Amino acid sequence: MTEPGLEARAAQGATTAVALFCHGGTVASVEPPRERALSLVRMRAVEQFVSAAADDRGLTTCLLRYRVAGWNGVAADAHADVRWALDRIRAEYGDMPVVLVGHSMGGRAVLRAGGAPQVSAVCALAPWTPAGEPVSHLRGRTVTIMHGRGDRWVPAALSADFAVRAQEAGARVARFTIAGGHSMIRRAHVWHSFVRDVVLAGAGLEPMRPDVAAALERAGAASLAVDL
């Protein structure tokens, strides 16, 4: 694959907002993502769930297909692909709100891209956020994070540290933890419903649900550990 791919599920009628879904990957690989990779299958399921809930309300959903499966160090290939996707979305739909949703490596990629002008909200699911991951670009942005407390692939402590630093940098952050691991299979409906609600609010189609709104309004590190 010489460039990324974008699988779009068009809204019924005119598009008023776009949600971009970005799946996980691996630390280093220049091979294209496998079609049956669990990270891709799971993110496609989340995207389809959100689309079914909102495509008659002007929301177009897009699933990003990376060029390669790895982050690959300073190349940050997944982040480069998210930037490419945002350019394509702007060219196709104009300047309208875009909600970014990413899992694992995709969570890292959407958090990196969260400062782009058209991004209205970022939803990171079990994001891989190594120590020192940049946060200053998220000042003034709305960021929601959900992480499994039993995640063995990407420890929840990483997103806890990231959330605190992002909040200190001026982002509006709500972080939730949930029983289960990295794959979002246990209590899948809770993961799906969380993303749906955050996307609809970020797209301006619904008010933010009360627990997320309350978490976003609270300040301090103690507010960044809400259990679902």
pLDDT at position 222: 45
The low-confidence residues of the chain, meaning pLDDT below 50, are 222
CATH code, domain with 196:
3.40.50.1820
The count of structural domains within the chain is: 1
pLDDT at position 64: 98
Q: How many CB atoms lie within 10 A of CB 185?
A: 13
pLDDT at position 225: 64
Residue 142's domain comprises 5-227
Largest CA distance in the chain: 45
- In which order are the strands placed within the sheet that holds 5-9? 5-9, 59-65, 17-22, 98-103, 119-125, 142-148, 172-178, 226-227
pLDDT at position 219: 62
Instruction: For residue 43, give the 3-state DSSP assignment.
Output: helix
pLDDT at position 224: 59
